[in-house]
Amino acid sequence: MKKIALFFTLFICLISSGAFALEEAVLESSEDIMYCYADGSCVPVGNDNPLVSEPTGKMATYSTLPPTLTLTQLNFVVKNTSGQFLSNRCVGVPVTLTTITGGQTTTEQYIFWSMPTDVLGKISVVLARSGITNTCNGTTYKMTFTTSGLSVTTPINNWPMGCCQITLTCGITFCYSAPNINGYAECLCNKLDKIFRCLGIGAASWSPGYKCNYQTGLCEGGTLIELSRFEAHPLNKAVRIEWSTEAEINSGWFNILRSEAPDGQYAVINTSPIVARGSAFEGKVYEFVDTTVRNRKTYYYKLEEITLDGESTMYGPVSATPSFLSGFFK
């Protein structure tokens, strides 16, 4: 599945070397997906845009003026010069932020790191056109990016993560997750907030440790794991519990809870916490064997995930009925 990172920046292109082949990113296609106007209204371009349903606002229907903001989706693939597609690659994009106040110009240079590419080496990026400029209360803000001098790197597991929540005045919300290396992603989100407020079309806010849910367009806290599998397998006088994650952010440990009824009272059965071993870029496979059960009796299990902040989220239940014959079909 393509990851969508929403921001005012073009990510991804080339550089970084492998053992025998250079790595590069190739732009496969691009398209404008949304026009936003001064009254906060936004109009989707085409009928397949996943970000919005029905636009609101007067200018969405009758304006002949150019849009205040145009969002464009760029679809990239990262591969090496041998033609091999590369997953799990983050791309650094040079971004320039310029602020002019009272005739004084301040220029800030950043490298914004993208989220990693998927298993096909692909990532989609939604951005505003480079060079967007607006003036509010005597202060001019300008954001530009360049496709020259971009870098590709393999992400580091302990990179700090965060989520930028964008809310438009017409009611549309969307977000993006990003590694917050040297605080760059947070700074860019804060600049984005100033530009959106300057345009009068919305606001943005940064949430450290949170993750973007691209289905809802919201930054989510608490449980930040992507659980892809949670199963219970019967054995002879035992039950094997298995679960897999695709990504883990701020996750501390897991507990296994058991009950003798699906809606009954559940109790923790692991004697020590099951430490989370994944990261924002990599999931893990876990297993726990419950040997305190009897054959021919059904047991129900829940998985509890505890974040480093102490917040808890439950998954399940799943069930299994151990039996003598189950021992032959492990």
Number of other residues whose CB lies within 10 A of the CB of residue 212: 26
Question: Would the pLDDT of 62 be above 60?
Answer: no
- How confident is the model over 40-68, as a mean pLDDT? 56
Over residues 169-183, the pLDDT tens digits come to: 766 677 878 878 778
Rounded alpha-carbon distances, angstroms, from residue 79 to 63, 130, 273: 42, 25, 40
Q: What pLDDT does residue 11 have?
A: 29
Over residues 131-165, the pLDDT tens digits come to: 777 777 777 878 787 777 777 777 765 677 788 88
As to burial, measured by CB atoms within 10 angstroms (0-12 exposed, 13-18 middle, 19+ buried), residue 277 is middle
List of domains in the chain = 4-220 (no CATH), 225-328 (2.60.40.10)
CA–CA dist 9, 44 (Å, integer): 20
Question: Would the pLDDT of 60 be above 60?
Answer: no
Percent of the chain with pLDDT over 90: 17
Q: What pLDDT does residue 52 have?
A: 44
| Residue 259 C-alpha from the chain's centroid | 34
Q: What pLDDT does residue 7 have?
A: 36
